[in-house]
Amino acid sequence: MANAVFYHKPDSIYDDDPATRYHFPKSYLSRVQQTLGDWIVYYGPLPRSKGRFYTAIARTTHISPDPNDPDRFYVFLEDYIDFDSPVSYTDNGGYEKKLFRPDGRPNGGRTQQAVRIVEPEEIGAITYAGLSEVDPWPARVDTPDKSDLPEGFSDQDQVQLPDMFAERNRQTIILSRPFRDAKFRQHIRQLYDRTCAFTGLRLINGRGRPEVEAAHIIPVEKGGNDSVQNGIALSGTVHWMFDRGLLGLSDHYEILASRHLNYDVAHLLNKDRKALVPSDPTKRPHPRYLDWHRSNVFKS
């Protein structure tokens, strides 16, 4: 197994779905095969930003040929998680040492490679930079059985990220449900500015903690992932209704109310009946996840 960096551009001609699959040409097949079962980091440009950035981490599982093109393949992924903030490839003197010449300039040939094998220490440093931001609004959760927490975790205000660059720690931590839930909540609350997408309410308690919750569109227990595109910020009551199929969302972000509701909730919702979503299209709820919710949860 080996770690790698995968280049991804949102408007690429390739059929990528970063949380679940990466589409690549046959020329990179041998490199991608080396990564199977191990971690990769996504890298590429961002809208309205100069430079290139590391944006997320995931783990490869298997490769399948593209049925429509004999010269392309898909590698499928699991355990995807967005970084707290994009990490510039030039930060820290450059995380990938082979990406830079001795004089500090980028190595042009290597920067053009869509799949780059990297050292475990390099992907460890990138991951730490991407996932070590402290949540400014941590949830206070009491954990009665501390044996459920991985080594190095705290059951205080938030799940902290200990030194994860020993290989034995990294996988345990990133795969831990408490850690992933804390990061997903942190990312969704920041993206939606602590505001409920359906009601526009932004309730903050005396200690600065927001009331709004991070809802998975496809629940984790149903195969959903922790991509922010599989999430939306909802206040408690609306989250309860969304999970029970009493509220839904169209591909154009119109709020849908089920006929099974035994009361009119129009006064609770945004007046235009449209959800407030991030301005960046790559951070909005993905139509594939919304379609799953309408087909499997929403009671029309």
Q: Is residue 163 part of a domain?
A: yes
In this prediction, residues 4-19 reach a mean pLDDT of 94
Same domain for 224 and 252, yes or no, is yes
Question: 122 and 24: one domain?
Answer: yes
pLDDT at 205 over 60: yes
Query: Residue 168: inside a domain, yes or no?
Result: yes
The total domain count for the chain is 3
**Claim to verify: residue 126 and residue 241 sit in the same structural domain:** no
- Judge contact between 165 and 125, C-beta under 8 A: yes
Do the strands 3-7 and 39-44 form a parallel or antiparallel pair, or are they unpaired?
Answer: parallel
153 within some domain: yes
Residues 10 and 109 reside in one and the same domain: yes
Pair 167, 286 in one domain:
no
- Please check the confidence at residue 88 and state whether its pLDDT lies above 90: yes
The answer on pLDDT for 170 being more than 90 is no
In a domain, 288, yes or no: yes
Q: What is the domain-level CATH number for residue 23? A: 3.10.590.10
Q: What's the pLDDT score for residue 140?
A: 59
Asked if 127 and 145 sit in the same domain, the reply is no
- Whether residues 119 and 233 fall in one domain: no
159 Cβ contact list (under 8 Å, min separation 6): 153, 176, 178, 179, 181, 182
Within this chain, do residues 20 and 117 fall inside the same structural domain, yes or no?
A: yes
Q: Give CA–CA dist 114/178, Å, rounded.
A: 33
Q: Are residues 122 and 9 in the same domain?
A: yes
Q: Express each pLDDT in 23-75 by its tens digit.
A: 999 999 999 999 999 999 999 998 877 889 999 999 999 999 999 999 999 99
Distance set, CA 184 to CA 35, 47, 180 (Å): 25, 22, 6
Query: Do 126 and 32 fall within a single domain?
Result: yes
Structural domain including 160 reads 140-175
Structure-token pair, residue 296: 């499997």
Report the sign of the C-alpha dihedral through residues 67, 11, 226, 261, in that order: negative
